[in-house]
Homo-oligomer: A and B are copies of this chain.
Amino acid sequence: MKQDSSAGLKDQFNIGICGMGTVGGGTFTLLQDNQTEITRRLGRSLKVSHVASRRQNPLYDTEGVRFSTDVFAVADDPEVDILVEVLGGTEPALSLIMRAIENGKHVVTANKALIAVHGNAIFAAAKRKGVTVAYESAVAGGIPIIKALREGLAANSIQWLAGIINGTGNFILTEMAEKGRSFAEVLKEAQALGYAEADPTFDVEGIDAAHKLTILASNAFGISLQFDKVYTEGISKVTTEDVNYAAELGYRIKHLGITRMTDKGIEMRVHPTLISDRRLIANVNGVMNAVVVKGDSVGSTLYYGAGAGAKATASSVVADLIDIVRSCGSEARSNSGNVPSLAFDSLRSDIPILKIEDIECEFYLRLSVQDKIGVMAQISRLLTDHGINIEALIQKEPDASQGGDAFVPIVIVTGRVLESQMNKAIAAMEALEQVVEKITRIRIEQFDGEGN
């Protein structure tokens, strides 16, 4: 490896890419396409010296680059300074990253599931060896949200953040809202367009968003990664009916990941959420992502961009590479004076993560009731008995086409109430003879402070 002796800085960094799928290929291509610009920024160069994947991907011309079918060959390659892990999944990704760290290499990964579940062990190993494990691309694709949280807002006590952090889910909800299409129909299209996986569970049931929220919460509050404590609810039960009622009430339904510091502990939750259509984040449509962060000093800030795709994700992978190189002086493999993996030099372990039952929210409720005198009075009384205010109400005429026994939909917007209390109120209402279906509940977020 050449050294620029005048400045004492290493002048070329060798990159090993493990995985040549969408993100790996995108990273390889971006490093080629923008080589001149990147070198001009860095004053040093990034060179892909080793690529590993199960088989050569004919889409990419890797001539002159060492190729291995065994990804561990990259972790063991003494020429490689930084290993890029874009395999996805747990194994061999986890062992590969641990091996690279053990060998004193920096690591860049886009693997949100791996960081959310095994990040604590990975970061501890990296700290011991004095290397960096960077993962900007793991959350919200091309949006530099980890950087904003860890560095840009580092002067703040973060109060809460809320994000549209799964593009597939947002595409589905947008289509439902704008075109009145059903969940199932849009999901099918999303799969055809390649947005959603053949098994869409990770996207639509909120698991992918929960992985990302776990990472965001740790960076916001300086706590270890606790994926198993995220309350996770998908969007598969959201109906066009709910989308339309929400619009009538001045709301949009978005699939949000929310984390908030409260006096009692930290909220971490992913669920469909009504937000005022005046909010900027309510107008983030299609596959785009956005995260609102509320800091005690800066107020609300919002970060918007493409949350997925080869090029957007590669943008963050390569930004991580550039960051690592910028933090290295003459020593390629050591930058211990740097930004902590989870934003804080020391993590707190004394803050409980709240159960969903212990979280306070406003609620959207949709009931289907028999069209009989006194039903609304009974429901109102039950809510009042449980200490729940009615803030808004829609009661429609019965559907004439269903004849005399028609059911009437009632939509209620409540005041703030503990989820556990709402559970009791819903159980009591569902016990009423006139309430003919399971009650739909969707949480509402007003956020605090103005303008976002």
**Chain A residues proximal to chain B, CB less than 8 Å:** 7, 9, 30, 33-34, 37-38, 40-44, 136, 142-144, 147-148, 151-157, 222, 280, 283-286, 288, 290, 295-306, 311-312, 314-319, 321-323, 326-329, 336-340, 343-346, 348, 450-452
State in angstroms the CA–CA spacing of A304 and B279 once bound together: 12
Query: For residue A328, which residues in chain B have a CB less than 8 angstroms away from its CB?
Result: 337
23 interchain pairs, CB-CB under 8 A? A33-B297, A34-B156, A34-B297, A37-B157, A40-B345, A44-B345, A142-B301, A143-B301, A144-B147, A144-B152, A151-B326, A152-B319, A153-B319, A154-B323, A155-B318, A155-B321, A155-B322, A286-B450, A298-B315, A300-B306, A301-B305, A326-B338, A326-B339
- Report Cα–Cα, A401/B229, bound state, in Å: 69
Q: How far is the CB of A114 from chain B (nearest CB, A)?
A: 22
Assess A305 versus B305: contact at CB under 8 Å? Given A34-B157, A41-B340, A283-B283: no
Q: Which of B41, B321, B329, B346 contacts A40 (CB 8 A)?
A: B346
Write the chain B residue with the least CB distance to A155.
B318
List, in ascending order, chain B residues with CB within 8 A of A43's CB: 340, 345-346
CA distance A44 to B299 in the complex (A): 25
Partner of A345, one of B41, B148, B154: B41
Contact A326–B337 (Cβ < 8 Å): yes
**In whole angstroms, how far apart are the Cα atoms of A260 and B306 in the complex?**
21
Residues of B within 8 A of A304 (CB): 280, 301-304, 452
Complex contact B451–A286 (CB within 8 A): yes
A222 → chain B closest CB, angstroms: 6
A304 to B44, CA, bound (A): 32
| A147 pairs with B151, CB closer than 8 A | yes
User: How far apart are A212's CB and chain B's nearest CB, in angstroms?
Assistant: 17
CA distance A266 to B153 in the complex (A): 31
Contact B297 A40 (CB under 8 A): no
Contacts of A30 in B (CB 8 A): 155, 297
Q: Give A345 Cβ to nearest chain B Cβ, in Å.
A: 3
Knowing A40-B222, A322-B151, the reply to whether A312 touches B298 (Cβ < 8 A) is yes
Q: Are A41 and B343 in contact (CB under 8 A)?
A: yes
Report B-chain residues with C-beta under 8 Å of the C-beta of A157: 34, 37
Known contacts A42-B345, A222-B40, A302-B303: A297-B153 contact under CB 8 Å:
no
